[in-house]
């Protein structure tokens, strides 16, 4: 990344802010932070004391012209911009489609036109077995990215698939903590629900790993722990509450699933162990040089990789929360 120009779409979100911090350590020429949120851009400018390496661009990936302009002379793109909250995407599927699918296609077209070296697309475990509008649109985004490598272009397109980042905007941990602080019962849609979790540092390490080692056309997946959301809530209650806090079920929301998969049954047939920390999902069709690059990697030994397998114990959940800075 040294002396390179990097564009981050959705750069003022939880991932984007941490990515900026890590990229600045690598002495880039310029980091362009592209997002719709003016107030968060001002906040980030002040946080970095108007660092001259940071360029802030108000824009929307749904506007092809705006993303085309932002990609001029860019070397790398991290495509983080998305509508990501499941209930909102269920209520407004047209907006989810415009942002997560058409917006992603605009990023691809802009990258090809400007000869960007590599595009890294952030996807989600909800794309493996999509039961929601959000999952479906992110799955389509993955497919657009993977297929873009079949074009005659020097740009490489790679995906990373993540679970839930601890403490990210709108996620359950800050919501649960606020309920406990207010002394009110925690609302949980279904006690059987399980999810994958990783820290924001691990999420950014995944992005950088994919940047450095990908060939174009693959999906990088972190090997990450899963836990029961009810157990997660109980660990927070046990550690933080000063009064009696109950866990109340409210019923599953539209589009919500009880568990998530990072690698589906269909994908496991073409997935490999990259190393002790990562899997790679290869496409079911050949891309020149891609399959050969992973020929020495052992295939995975499971049918699917879902959040019901080997759930963390409560002590392990507590340790994870401590490492993430959510418990003392």
Q: pLDDT confidence of 59, banded at 50, 70, 90?
A: very high
Judge contact between 296 and 273, C-beta under 8 A.
no
Neighbours of 50 (CB within 10 A): 9
Q: Where are the domains of the chain?
A: 5-163+197-223+261-305
Q: 262 — phi, psi (to 5°)? A: -90, -30
Q: Residue 208: what pLDDT?
A: 97
Helix axes 314-323, 229-240, angle to 10 degrees: 70
| 3-state SS class at 278 | strand
Q: Which are the catalytic amino acids?
A: 126
Superfamily (CATH H level) for 5-163+197-223+261-305: NAD(P)-binding Rossmann-like Domain (3.40.50.720)
Q: How far is CA 245 from CA 8, 181, 230, 242, 252, in A?
A: 41, 10, 13, 9, 21
Q: How far is CA 142 from CA 50, 103, 104, 217, 281, in A?
A: 34, 12, 9, 9, 12
Neighbours of 160 (CB within 10 A): 25
Q: Residue 120: what pLDDT?
A: 98
Q: Residue 161: what pLDDT?
A: 97
Q: Residue 169: what pLDDT?
A: 72
DSSP for 172-231, written as a single string: HHHHHHHHHHHT-PEEES-TT-EEEEE-HHHHHHHHHHHHHH--SS-EEEE---EEEHHH
Instruction: Measure the CA angle with vertex 107, ends 103 and 109; round to 5°.
Output: 115
DSSP for 20-66, written as a single string: HHHHHTT--SEEEEEES-HHHHHHHHHHTTT-TTEEEEE--TTSHHH
Mean per-residue pLDDT over the chain, rounded? 95
| 3-state SS class at 91 | helix
DSSP for 236-253, written as a single string: HHHHH-SS---EEE--PP
Write out pLDDT tens, residues 226-248.
999 999 999 999 999 999 999 99
Q: pLDDT confidence of 141, banded at 50, 70, 90?
A: very high
Residue 170 has pLDDT above 90, yes or no: no
Residue 23 has pLDDT above 90, yes or no: yes
Task: List Cβ neighbours of 147 (8 Å cut-off, separation of 6 or more).
Answer: none
Q: pLDDT confidence of 323, banded at 50, 70, 90?
A: confident
> Mean pLDDT across the stretch 113-123?
98
Q: Residue 324: what pLDDT?
A: 85
Which pTM does this prediction carry? 0.95
Judge contact between 40 and 57, C-beta under 8 A.
no
157 burial class (0-12, 13-18, 19+ CB within 10 angstroms)?
Answer: buried
Say how far residue 249 (Cα) sits from the centre of its chain. Answer: 27
Q: Residue 58: what pLDDT?
A: 98
Q: Residue 171: what pLDDT?
A: 80
Write out pLDDT tens, residues 258-306.
999 999 999 999 999 999 999 999 999 999 999 999 999 999 999 999 9
């Amino acid at each position: 990344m040294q002396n390179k120009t990097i564009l981050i779409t959705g750069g003022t979100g939880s991932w984007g802010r941490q990515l900026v911090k890590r990229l600045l350590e690598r002495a880039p020429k310029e980091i362009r932070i592209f997002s719709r949120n003016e107030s968060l851009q001002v906040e980030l400018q002040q946080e970095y004391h108007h660092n001259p390496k940071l360029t802030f661009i108000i824009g929307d990936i749904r506007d092809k012209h705006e993303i085309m302009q932002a990609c001029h002379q860019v070397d790398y793109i991290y495509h983080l911009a998305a509508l990501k909250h499941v209930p909102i995407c269920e209520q407004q599927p047209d907006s989810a489609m415009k942002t997560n699918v058409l917006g992603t296609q605009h990023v691809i077209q802009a990258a090809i036109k400007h000869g960007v070296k590599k595009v890294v697309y952030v996807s989600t475990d909800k794309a493996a077995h999509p039961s929601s509008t959000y999952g479906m649109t992110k799955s389509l985004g993955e497919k657009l990215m993977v297929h873009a490598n079949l074009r005659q272009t020097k740009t490489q397109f790679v995906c990373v698939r993540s679970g839930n980042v601890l403490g990210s905007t709108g996620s359950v941990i800050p919501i649960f903590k606020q309920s406990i602080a207010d002394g009110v019962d925690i609302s949980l849609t279904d006690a059987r629900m399980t999810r994958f979790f990783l820290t924001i540092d691990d999420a950014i390490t995944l992005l950088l790993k994919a940047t450095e080692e990908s060939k174009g056309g693959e999906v990088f997946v972190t090997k990450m722990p899963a836990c029961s959301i009810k157990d997660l809530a109980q660990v927070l209650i046990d550690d933080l509450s000063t009064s009696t806090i109950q866990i109340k079920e409210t019923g599953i929301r539209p589009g919500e699933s009880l568990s998530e998969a990072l690698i589906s049954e269909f994908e496991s047939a073409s997935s490999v162990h990259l190393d002790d920390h990562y899997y790679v999902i290869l496409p079911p069709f050949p891309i020149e040089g891609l399959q050969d690059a992973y020929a020495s990697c052992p295939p995975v030994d499971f049918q699917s990789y879902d959040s019901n397998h080997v759930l963390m114990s409560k002590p392990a959940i507590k340790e994870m929360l401590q490492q993430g800075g959510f418990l003392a």
